[in-house]
């Protein structure tokens, strides 16, 4: 499924956030800026209400409570994993959609959590109090770690059942905030439209505008087996929002790297992005070819294919920014200014002056090792394919489970055992043809990156051609059988050592070299970079003060902006699309995939008002993780649903510029009308309008 | 258009050709091998008849005379360039096909030549007589060059009008043969089916089997304004050929590198192919994305997109062979054996012993420079796009035309002026959106390969983002105007120096550095490699004698083999497909592009015999350039028409192995029945059957 998950965005490093820039903390809201720009007064009550209506979804997106009976609105593409898991051979909910007309028909989702942020406490002073004078760097880090664990553990005990507590590291360690969430895991699917309208236009229209998508689905949170009596929820706006109107987005942007140093940006531009683009182009062509061979192949590879296309398109935008001399020059100047300020202050200089060099050194080592490490699957030894992933887990667990927790690889600590087991014993279907394709691709990729004569490549191929070896590995392994995976996982080192399974043997072959690479990364890259950035961040915080928003951390943020069109290639792009445009776009592309207007919409055409707003754009500063966030007006009412950024917003993620970059939303009016007239979902429509069932 | 042009194939280096391996010279036919394997006696008359019925087509394919009235049969994909050139906005001959029911309706093709090989003379002794004792390497090369020019020039004078003469360098210089051709340039299109059946299955089925393509078109050669009275032609077989039957292919395979040294193979495996695959994956995704944006885009990019897909699929097969340890070990052993034989013979050792090291040294230098040279467009400074190509030509001509011929870049000598002008003043349409895409792609590629901070990249981008710079270059240039190209080309250095055209200025910026790279290549790579291979070839020739066939040189060769199925993934693949299979394949894929059976075929379905053979496979050793070759039986009758090799034949191109590798042909029976019943081409059918109009 499509994921709007741009995990490496960053923007202008200039001191003061400009225009509608910023992903703001709810306990440090941009009240002054909003007042100045829009004349609107943010109140504590407003913030508290919105905060407690916003939902974080464990699958990696955002949502909002939109009724007092626990109804949660999010994107179709955020819920699509669960929708797929609830599908059966006979009932393809992704393709055909789903609609529970009564509570009893709602479908319980496996393995999902929804959280609502309840309280925030700044615990920075407590953490820093644990740091003594004269401590070494290592001692400081250890003291902080211990204190953080202590605070989190105490908070958990205090909060009790139904809550969870997390300390969020902000500004790379300049501040620590304790977040306490209400959390639920009984979540049921209420409504989803067909993917044909949820992702209308497919890859061609992805990250584009104008758009015509009903990228929505509804879940309901249950508590004690009954619909949640939500303390807060967002009302539905009867009128939507107009051109130029102030709108807010409350959601969970995943991760930004807006503080990245020049050396880090150069690394991204000259190493990371060229390599990432190559890998994505490669996978996209392989998956397209595999899919072209027949209908079964197409269905099996669909998810992965869309995911790759989505990543490719997102990264194309970011890479364009990295190659833009104007943007890069701005980043360069901003870094010079900050470093000059540090150099001019002897105390700052002594404390933080080497921050940039530490990052540069980390990137230098990474350049030396990244190709080989990538070819060997990176930290998780992820070569390709579900069966391989299970083999790698079994082989690593066999070794790690014999060590004390402190000496283990992080993801193999004893607390992680149940997570490992959940993945390992999953009953998700495994498609052998696709597995062969993935394994062949991984083996060939290894040869591409390391050369066909590399000893590791030679040993991995075991004297066979790539295709023959992939067939041998996938057709020969017994790991498609859950019982066999269980036997090996529980059998530990002895069972693994005895196994003649070809995938287990390959994992054992590659494991030692991968570990050496990982060790080097964890000793020579990661800590240097962390330490460097904590210094850079501290310097920036010292120079620019509390008026800054921190980098995104997949925690709740507030963004403000306005509904606003833009110009593209000299022509105006109006802020709203409407239903008429959907039918026109479909017809212009021959109603052929991915522009086929679904049958339900063709049938309902005469009932719909062609002028009803369907999608709109706004200047809000958002990114991946924000998918499914509510767009709300000054009265805290839902006027839209974030589902994408336009292609220019990817560049904008690097250097905020509202000239063209825009967030893309479903309009609340189009959404409501579609529920009523296309899907005949009158009871759901009524719940939204009334704010309760 | 699809090109079956695998320009870098090579096969087993073992001494004696095995099984049905070999692309044999007509003056050194494999008579003994055929006698031994099939009990058939090749006669001089047989060879002479077939030789004079085979046609070489200047667009890069093969064909055959199939009537006494100059009718030439070849592939749709060989003729498609001409078919496209003969199309107009109102009449899309590629899409809809073409059928001239009378001579007067046949369409004259621009810019095409068809040649028939008339005589072959071994002039090796004459050439070698020009080499004196005590000459240096450079003197030897110069003496040979002069002698070759003298022989060719004398032969041309002697042959007279309507003939052309070419000396073919065989076995890398171990032998020189003088080829004299009859040649014609009045060629007219007679018949072409719709592309939908010519390339049924598109990229998905390309290089696959079973297949269902009518990849044929017919031209007619005219002489003095009338249909050629052909001295020889091939009869049509009334019965086709059966499973296991001996069949011959007479055609023009383009180029093999079966002699490649181990160092060269390693270079291909670890540098050339990974880089080529990356470039193709990259272009394929960019073109797919561009095409997805709308119908105009799709049409504009169609040709290039198919070309890239075809190259990618072909090279995937070759790369798989390079990564196959078994094949590579065989190549390694063969090289060791040959080198051991040379080392054991002091005279050979002195003459040829350093051949392998020379090639290795050439490849070492190439490794150092290839990335940068490629980023700068390689020898032709070809970055991307038609407009850019014209700018590069104008800028280089302005400099080169001021030098004496001997000092110029090869393709800018005074004799080449008319060729340059033909390209430069071509009226082929230029699509600005596609040009922007190509230019952006080239600029980004430069940054990907050299890094965004590289001084050349910085200067090429001129402070703009990749997209903005590409727009500026393409929208800003006046080179879409033929008159402006003419003005600059004829104005020479002065006009170019004054030009403010952004593309001209970019070409001037990049030219000096590209020249430096090219100079290095021409001094440190190319001559070393040529010298090395002439020694390796001489050694092999000395050791293994005249029983060998030479590497392919886009000259006439004879291949023999049998119609024969094979096994794939444990299942038998029968040698023949039939009409019923076409309709089944279409239906199985929803009759959706590229599996849409054309309307003409749907209409004719009831009239066709479903059991009529449509396509078949045989063990003939063929490759790109062979497209359009006739498949003939022992009685010199046409039983089929080569149009492809299966995916395993690409690996087979590297190391001949008839286990799975097969040539793919249209069956003469299916072809004839389709002409009659689908296309109502009774007069064309009658001409084939009677061998005359």
Burial A115-134 (b: 16+ CB within 10 A, else e): bbbbebbebbeebeebeeee
- Lookup: tokens for B522: 């021409």
Does A9 score more than 60 pLDDT?
no
Residue contact B277–A448, C-beta within 8 A: yes
| Predicted pLDDT of residue B689 | 97
Proportion of chain B above pLDDT 90, given as a percent: 74
- Confidence at residue B652, expressed as pLDDT on a 0 to 100 scale: 56
pLDDT at B301: 86
Stretch A44-56: mean pLDDT, rounded? 98
What's the confidence (pLDDT) of residue A6? 27
Mean pLDDT for the stretch of residues A644-654: 75
C-alpha–C-alpha distance, residues A141 and A501, integer Å: 43
For B458-467, what is the mean pLDDT?
95
User: With contacts defined as CB-CB under 8 Å, which chain B residues touch A270?
Assistant: 451-453
Read out DSSP for B66-127?
-STT-EEEE-HHHHHHHHHHT--SS--HHHH-EE-SSGGGPEEPSS--EEEEEEEEE-HHHH
CB contact under 8 Å between B326 and A465, yes or no, is yes
Distance from CA of A394 to the nearest CA of B (A): 29
CB B452 to CB A320 under 8 A?
A: no
pLDDT per position as a tens digit, B299-326: 788 878 988 998 999 899 889 989 999 8
Q: Check B266 against A452: CB less than 8 A apart.
A: yes
Given a cut of 50, whether residue B389 has pLDDT beyond it is yes
Closest CA to A211 of A616, A624, A574: A616
Domain residue extents for chain A: 7-113+185-257+550-690, 264-313
pLDDT at residue A654, as a whole number: 64
Is residue A17 scored above 60 in pLDDT? no
When pLDDT is cut at 50, 70 and 90, the band that residue A326 belongs to is: confident
pLDDT band at A294 (very low <50, low <70, confident <90, very high): confident
Q: With CB atoms and an 8 Å threshold, state whether B323 touches A452.
A: yes
Note whether A451 contacts B269, CB cutoff 8 Å.
yes
Q: What is the mean pLDDT of residues A1-9?
A: 32
Res A16 pLDDT > 70: no
pLDDT at residue A652 in the model: 56
Residue in B204, B289, B466 closest to A323 by CB = B466
Mean pLDDT within B37-48:
96
Q: Which of A688, A648, A693, A647 minimizes the C-alpha distance to A668?
A: A688
Q: Which residues contact A652 (CB under 8 A, 6 or more apart)?
A: A11, A621, A645, A658, A660, A661
Q: Which of A204, A313, A324 sits opposite B465 (nearest CB)?
A: A324
Of B282, B312, B325, the CB nearest to A463: B325
Q: Is the pLDDT of residue A15 over 80?
A: no
- pLDDT range class, residue B149, cuts 50, 70, 90: confident
Q: What is the pLDDT of residues B486-512, one digit of tens each?
A: 999 999 999 999 999 999 999 999 999
Name the band, by pLDDT with cuts 50, 70 and 90, for residue A464.
very high
State residue A30's pLDDT score.
Answer: 94
- Measured between CA atoms, the residue of chain A closest to residue B285 is A281
- pLDDT value at B223 more than 60: yes
| Mean pLDDT estimate for chain A | 91
**The pLDDT value given to residue A643:** 96
**Residue in B509, B515, B447 with CA at minimum distance from that of residue B473:** B509
Higher-confidence residue of B421 and B653: namely B421
**Element counts in chain B: helices (H) and strands (E):** 27, 21
A80's tokens: 């699509």
Peptide bond preceding A599 in cis form (omega within 30 of 0): no
Helix (H) or strand (E) holding A615: strand A613-618
Strand A630-632 and strand B630-632: pairing? unpaired
Taking contacts as CB-CB distances below 8 angstroms, the residues of chain B near A451 are: 269-270
Share of chain A above pLDDT 90, in %: 74
CA dihedral A126, A130, A131, A136 (to 10 degrees): -150
CB contact under 8 A, B281 and A277: no
Using CB atoms, pick whichever of A270, A274, A312 lies closest to residue B453: A270
Q: Is the pLDDT of residue B1 over 80?
A: no
CB atoms A312 and B458 under 8 Å? no
pLDDT at A307 over 90: no
A592 cis-preceded (ω within 30 degrees of 0): no
Ranking A92-96, B133-137, B357-361 by mean pLDDT, the lowest is B133-137
pLDDT at B332 over 50: yes
Note the pLDDT tens digit of each residue in A204-250: 899 999 999 999 999 999 999 999 999 999 999 989 999 999 999 99
Residue pLDDT, tens place only, A550-561 = 889 999 999 999
pLDDT value at B413 more than 60 = yes
Q: H helices then E strands: how many in chain A?
A: 27, 21
The pTM of the full predicted model, rounded to 2 decimals, is 0.87
Contact A641, A77 (CB under 8 A): no
Nearest CB neighbour to B281, from listed A285, A451, A453: A285
Domain B7-113+185-257+550-690 has CATH 2.40.10.120: yes
Of B651 and B445, more confident: B445
Contact A285 B284 (CB under 8 A): yes
A651 band by pLDDT with thresholds 50, 70 and 90: low
pLDDT tens column, A73-92: 999 999 998 998 898 878 88
Q: Of B266, B277, B288, which is closest to A453 when you measure between CB atoms? A: B266
Chain A: closest CA distance from residue B293 (Å): 6
* Mutation choice for B interface testing from A283, A452, A462, A651 by most B CBs within 10 A: A452
Q: Is the pLDDT of residue A546 over 80?
A: no
Which residues, in sequence order, are bridge partners of residue B249? B559, B631
Q: Which residue has the tokens 């139904």?
A: A162
Residues A659 and B601: their CA atoms lie apart, in Å, by: 54
Radius of gyration over every alpha carbon of chain B, rounded to an integer in angstroms: 26
pLDDT classification of A3: cutoffs 50, 70, 90 = very low
Tell me what pLDDT residue A268 has: 95
pLDDT, one tens digit per residue, over B604-646 is: 999 999 999 999 999 999 988 999 999 999 999 999 999 999 8
């Amino acid at each position: 499924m499509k994921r709007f998950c741009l995990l490496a965005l960053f923007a202008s490093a200039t001191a003061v956030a400009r225009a509608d820039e910023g992903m703001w903390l709810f306990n440090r809201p941009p009240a002054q800026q909003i007042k100045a720009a829009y004349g609107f007064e943010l109140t504590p009550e407003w913030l508290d209400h919105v905060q407690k209506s916003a939902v974080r979804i464990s699958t990696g997106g955002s949502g909002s409570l939109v009724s007092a009976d626990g109804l949660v609105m999010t994107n179709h593409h955020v819920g699509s994993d669960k929708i797929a898991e609830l599908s059966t051979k006979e009932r393809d909910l992704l393709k055909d959609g789903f609609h529970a007309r009564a509570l009893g028909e709602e479908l319980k989702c496996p393995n999902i959590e929804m959280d609502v942020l309840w309280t925030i406490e700044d615990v920075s002073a407590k953490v820093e109090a644990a740091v003594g004078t004269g401590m070494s760097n290592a001692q400081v880090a250890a003291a902080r770690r211990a204190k953080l664990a202590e605070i989190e553990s105490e908070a958990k005990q205090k909060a009790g059942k139904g809550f969870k507590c997390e300390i969020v590291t902000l500004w790379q360690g300049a501040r620590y905030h304790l977040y306490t969430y209400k959390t639920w895991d009984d979540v049921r699917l209420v409504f989803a439209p067909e993917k044909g309208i949820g992702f209308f236009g497919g890859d061609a229209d992805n990250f584009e505008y104008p758009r015509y998508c009903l990228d929505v689905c509804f879940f309901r949170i249950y508590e004690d087996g009954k619909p949640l009596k939500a303390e807060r929820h967002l009302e539905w706006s009867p009128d939507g929002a107009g051109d130029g109107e102030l709108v807010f987005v409350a959601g969970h942007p995943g991760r930004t790297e807006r503080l990245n140093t020049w050396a880090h940006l150069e690394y991204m531009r000259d190493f990371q992005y060229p390599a990432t683009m190559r890998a994505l182009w490669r996978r996209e062509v392989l998956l397209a070819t595999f899919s072209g061979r027949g209908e079964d192949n197409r269905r099996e590879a669909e998810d992965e294919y869309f995911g790759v296309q989505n990543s490719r398109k997102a990264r194309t935008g970011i890479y364009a920014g990295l190659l833009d001399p104007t943007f890069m020059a701005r980043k360069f100047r901003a870094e010079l200014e900050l470093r000059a300020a540090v150099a001019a202050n002897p105390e700052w200089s002594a404390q933080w002056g080497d921050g940039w060099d530490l990052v540069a050194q980390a990137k230098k080592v990474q350049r030396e090792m990244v190709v080989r490490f990538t070819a060997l699957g990176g930290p998780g030894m992820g070569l390709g394919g579900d069966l391989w992933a299970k083999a790698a887990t079994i082989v690593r667990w066999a070794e790690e489970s014999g060590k004390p927790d402190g000496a283990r690889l992080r993801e193999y600590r004893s607390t992680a055992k149940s997570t490992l087991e959940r993945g390992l014993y999953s009953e998700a279907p495994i498609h052998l043809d696709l597995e062969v394709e993935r394994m062949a691709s991984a083996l060939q990729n290894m040869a591409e990156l390391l050369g066909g004569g590399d000893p590791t490549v030679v040993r991995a191929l075991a004297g066979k051609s790539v295709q023959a070896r992939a067939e041998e590995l996938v057709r020969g392994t017994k790991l498609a059988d859950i019982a066999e995976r269980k036997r090996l996982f529980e059998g530990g080192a002895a069972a693994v050592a005895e196994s003649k399974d070809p995938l287990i043997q390959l994992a054992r072959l590659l494991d030692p070299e991968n570990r050496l690479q990982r060790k080097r990364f964890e000793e020579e890259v990661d800590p240097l970079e962390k330490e460097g950035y904590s210094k850079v961040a501290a310097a920036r915080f010292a120079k620019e003060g509390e008026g800054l928003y921190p980098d995104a951390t997949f925690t709740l943020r507030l963004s403000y902006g306005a509904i606003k069109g833009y110009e593209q290639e000299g022509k105006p792009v109006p802020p709203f699309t409407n239903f008429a445009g959907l039918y026109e776009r479909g017809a212009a592309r021959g109603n052929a995939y991915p522009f086929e207007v679904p049958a339900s919409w063709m049938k309902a055409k005469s009932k719909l008002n062609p002028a009803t707003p369907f999608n709109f754009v706004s200047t809000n500063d958002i990114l991946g993780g924000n998918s499914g966030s509510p767009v709300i007006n000054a009265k805290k009412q839902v006027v839209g649903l974030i589902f994408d950024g336009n292609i220019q917003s990817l560049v904008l993620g690097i250097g905020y510029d509202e000239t063209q970059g825009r967030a893309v939303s479903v309009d609340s009016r189009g959404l409501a009308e579609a529920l009523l007239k296309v899907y005949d979902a009158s009871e759901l429509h009524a719940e939204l309008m009334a704010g309760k069932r």
